[in-house]
Amino acid sequence: MNIERKLARLIFPGFRFGETDPEDARRLVDMGIGGFCLYQGKVEAICDFTAELQARAAEPLLFCADYEDGPGRWALGASELPSNMAIGAAGAEEFSRRKAEITAREARALGVDWVFAPVADLATRKENPIVNVRAFGDEPRDAARLAGAYMAGLASGGTLNSIKHFPGHGETEKDSHLALPSLKRSPAQLEECELKPFAANLPAADSVMIGHLLVDDIDPEFPASFSKKIIGGLLRGKMGYKGCVVTDALSMKAINDEDAAGVSALRAGADVLLVPDDPFKLHRALLEAFRKGSISEKDADTALGRIQAMLAGISGAGPRPGREAIGSAGHRAFNAEIASDCLAWIKKSAQPALRKGETVAYLEPGNPDPAQWKGKAFVEELRRQGVEVKPARDVSGGRLLAVSFSRPQAFSGHINLSPENRAEIEKRLGADGRMTMVAFGSPFVFESFAGRLDAALCAFCAIEEFQTAAARILAGAAQARGKVPVKLKGSNWSCSAAV
């Protein structure tokens, strides 16, 4: 393999169904890239795409995806599964492992062999716009335990894992899709807190994804994703990790010059250069760096060796499941089976929070049109339980049922309720009103209304089965057995800032 193809093999471009030109993907395969990170797409289109390009490639391609909560978060027709924080609320390793097994089975049926999960970040800062319910919670030992179970589930299902985002993204306040976050933690604080879930699971890590964040006390000059001090010194040196290192997406706006970043990442010890905006341009930049002596053929060979060693982990995975495994009834049943164990009361009323025959004023802040409500499954089940649900705009007085769907969303830059959302709820409540509140996402939304809640329930995600369970719990037809895995009042630290 010549140097041009060796360097191409380290690049894993993104492919967005409906956006990326398939002809560009074919050209990239012919150039020799290592694989693709897939976004969006219908099940049939994904299966056809992965099969076609595998047949075209001179070397086997490795397809990867951010299927943290099951392929259904991206692939239309596949199973969407509970968030990590929902699993954290249950605290059950069995649930984490089963979630990963389902994810792996459906991913393999789609042609995807590398899942960028689990998230080992800690939800220690409520303002963090990109971690939140993607984390198992704010306690390092629990995150380590549940991440380990998830990794075991992916392995048993035949896919590769990638624990992320090293050295820990939870204690930052910026969305790295938009800007470069800074982690204000000393090496001792990192070791006591953020690094624990990673350290506990590195022996089982097929790969480690490096976050785009600046760790001032270790390397104030370079982001972790292309820092020799963090990749080479901390991860590979002090922590002894010898496996594959993958950058977070180079297209993220935390990186100003993705071509220079790709070269720097390779020199720092990264092996896979993930999702550049222009993979052809990155390839040319790598070749130019090779010609100038900034990187060597040995650098490329070392990275390729680690990728090949990682691939050995799925060499015996066996035949792929058929397409009938994707979005199967059995996988959906898992969601319903565990829902009550995952939902958690923030504040529980002595009697059922909502009673048969009661009329409630339903409010999704920022979404007044019933035709556009995200909580349709929730509302339908409340009505089956005998609760009369009406749009808040159509009700004068009566109990307010406020429902939040706040969750991390790349490139949004914010999380929890906006000032406009809070003002909308306050206006409907009036000066002395109280309400029932449900969060199908971030649990931190309750902090704004702590003194005005008659009852408050958190589902940590908005999948249909959890919406149905939430309605049944509010109506007294089921029990919520989860425990909130983050602190909601005062300090949000499980790890002391003073180490």
The residues assigned a catalytic role are 177, 248
DSSP 233: I
| Number of other CB atoms surrounding residue 468 within 10 Å | 20
Q: What DSSP string runs through 65-76?
A: E--TT-GGGTSB
Q: Rounded CA gap, 96 and 86, in Å?
A: 10
Which residue's structure tokens are 């939870």?
170
33: Cα separation from own chain's centroid: 25
Sign of the Cα torsion 286, 287, 292, 297 reads: positive
Token pair, residue 60, equals 């086997």
Closest CA to 339 of 241, 240, 479: 479
Cα first-last separation, the chain: 50
Q: Rounded CA gap, 379 and 152, in Å?
A: 37
Contacts of 165 (CB under 8 A, 6+ apart): 119, 120, 121, 209, 210, 211, 213, 248
- 402-418 CB burial, b ≥16 within 10 A, e <16: bbbbbbbeeeeeebbbe
Token pair, residue 142, equals 């629990």
Q: Rounded CA gap, 494 and 104, in Å?
A: 31
C-alpha distance from residue 419 to each of 115, 123, 405, 425, 435 (Å):
36, 22, 15, 10, 18
Token pair, residue 439, equals 């969060």
Q: Rounded CA gap, 150 and 448, in Å?
A: 33
β-strands 453-458, 344-347: how paired?
A: antiparallel
β-strands 163-166, 207-210: how paired?
A: parallel
Is residue 89 a contact partner of residue 482, using CB atoms and an 8 Å limit? yes
Closest CA to 163 of 271, 245, 268, 58: 245
Residue type, 2: N
Q: Rounded CA gap, 59 and 45, in Å?
A: 22
